């Protein structure tokens, strides 16, 4: 039976549980990396980041924070992009999970990427010390109120923001279930992936979040594989 998509689902994902099996979480994270590479999720952030960097002279420094960086796979992908090398990008990964930070540090041990284990919603976190915040498939893990709070923190910090997250729709849900079936997704990935779609967003919801947070110029585009590219700012 197909669930309702009228509102965002509020059930927790299994990988977010405090007692989740680390081995199962690791398999799920690797599968998520596979889906990003296969369906172009990383390219949404990569291409959006290149747009934002046009405001910076080539060769200049850009301090980039990946919020909800997880095990660091997105950062690894961005580091491999030749066009980004036109700027002196200083990457930092932020995640609340010490286990995820440890995995990311191992994955990127031979790089200059820095990591911070902290809550993205901490009002004392110094977002103003960064030029650009990127946030990929993180917002849908939060409640509506937490999203408004996070966007408000970023707005007050005057930092450039780039968000990639899921479009909530029955078609996206059905297609993911088929994709997971044919790609032998781990059980946790099958469950969490389908739930993530239900926790995703309608266009007007994202616009309302940004307006409530005080943003006056909102760039919102639908991207391949039921993603939204969101860049809130000001006129």
Q: pLDDT by residue (tens digit) across 139-177? A: 999 999 999 999 999 999 999 999 999 999 999 999 999
Cα 45 from chain centroid (whole Å): 8
Whether the pLDDT of residue 85 is over 80: the answer is: yes
Q: How confident is the model at residue 21 (pLDDT cuts 50, 70, 90)?
A: very high
1 has pLDDT over 90: no
Q: What pLDDT score was predicted for residue 182?
A: 97
Q: Count Cα atoms within 13 angstroms, Cβ side, for 6.
A: 1
* pLDDT at res. 234: 86
Q: What is the mean pLDDT of residues 112-132?
A: 98
What domains does the chain contain, in order, with CATH numbers?
A: 14-233 (3.40.50.150)
How are beta strands 132-136 and 61-67 bridged, if at all? Answer: parallel
Mean pLDDT of the region 69-93: 97
Average pLDDT (66-80) is 98
192-217 per-position pLDDT tens digit = 999 999 999 999 999 999 999 999 99
């Amino acid at each position: 039976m197909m669930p309702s998509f009228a509102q965002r689902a509020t059930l927790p994902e299994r990988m977010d549980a405090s007692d989740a099996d680390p081995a199962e979480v690791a398999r799920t994270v690797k599968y998520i990396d596979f889906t990003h590479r296969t369906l172009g999720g990383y390219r949404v952030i990569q291409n959006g980041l290149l747009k934002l960097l046009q405001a910076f002279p080539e060769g200049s420094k850009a301090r980039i924070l990946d919020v909800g960086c997880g095990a660091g796979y997105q950062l690894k992908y961005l580091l491999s992009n030749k066009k980004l090398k036109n700027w002196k990008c200083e990457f930092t990964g932020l995640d609340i999970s010490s286990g995820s930070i440890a995995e990311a540090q191992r994955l990127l041990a031979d790089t200059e990427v820095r990591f911070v284990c902290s809550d993205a919603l901490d009002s004392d976190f110094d977002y103003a010390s960064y030029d650009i915040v990127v946030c990929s498939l993180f917002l849908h893990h939060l409640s509506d109120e937490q999203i408004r709070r996070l966007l408000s923190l970023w707005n007050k910090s005057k930092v450039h923001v780039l968000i990639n997250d899921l479009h909530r729709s029955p078609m996206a849900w059905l297609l993911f279930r088929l994709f997971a079936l044919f790609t032998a997704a781990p059980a946790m990935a099958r469950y969490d992936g389908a739930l993530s779609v239900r926790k995703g967003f309608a266009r007007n919801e994202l616009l309302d979040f940004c307006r409530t947070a005080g943003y006056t110029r909102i760039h919102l585009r639908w991207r391949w594989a039921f993603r939204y590219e969101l860049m809130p700012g000001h006129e």
